[in-house]
């Protein structure tokens, strides 16, 4: 298993609080298994691995989605510490330097309901992705 092309997620300044803010990125997941299969498990910095950003004592919940296709803005919603199974990689090389340039999408969503009730501030947090073979 190898993941490349994964970077920090940044929303910048969110001005429109009445619609969801979505940040997505295409990544390379290489699965050296018989079926090219893998699973993905996400955990955040909140209680129980919950997906939460913090600004001082203020918090902002977010959703994490995954798609086994690159260039996607929606995907399967991940639950903290619960593997999303049945994913298949199209990557033919460990860093996607040949073949497809990427093989999956990470999508992070700040829901409008959470945004509209959040205190102003600079929010940050940690998201850990664990990719396992299937």
- Provide the percentage of residues in the chain whose pLDDT is more than 90: 99
Dmax (CA) for the chain in angstroms is 49
Question: Do 90 and 105 form a contact (C-beta atoms < 8 A)?
Answer: no
Q: For the chain, which domains are there?
A: 2-6+20-133 (2.60.40)
pLDDT per residue as tens digits for the range 70-87 = 999 999 999 999 999 999
Summarize the confidence of residues 100-127 as an average pLDDT: 96
The model carries a pTM of 0.95
pLDDT per residue as tens digits for the range 27-85 = 999 999 999 999 999 999 999 999 999 999 999 999 999 999 999 999 999 999 999 99
Give the pLDDT score at 80: 98
């Amino acid at each position: 298993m190898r993941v490349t092309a994964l970077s920090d997620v940044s929303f910048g300044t969110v001005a429109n609080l009445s619609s969801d803010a979505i940040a997505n990125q295409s990544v390379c997941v290489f699965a050296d298994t018989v079926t090219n299969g893998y699973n993905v498990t996400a955990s955040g910095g909140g209680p129980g691995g919950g997906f939460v950003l913090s600004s001082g004592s203020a918090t902002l919940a977010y959703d994490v989605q995954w798609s086994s296709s690159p260039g996607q803005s929606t995907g399967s919603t991940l639950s903290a510490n619960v593997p999303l199974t049945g994913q298949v990689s199209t990557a033919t090389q460990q860093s996607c330097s040949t073949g497809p340039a990427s093989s999956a999408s990470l999508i992070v969503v700040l829901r409008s309901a959470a945004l509209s009730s959040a205190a102003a501030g600079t929010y940050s947090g940690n998201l850990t992705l664990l990719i396992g073979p299937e």
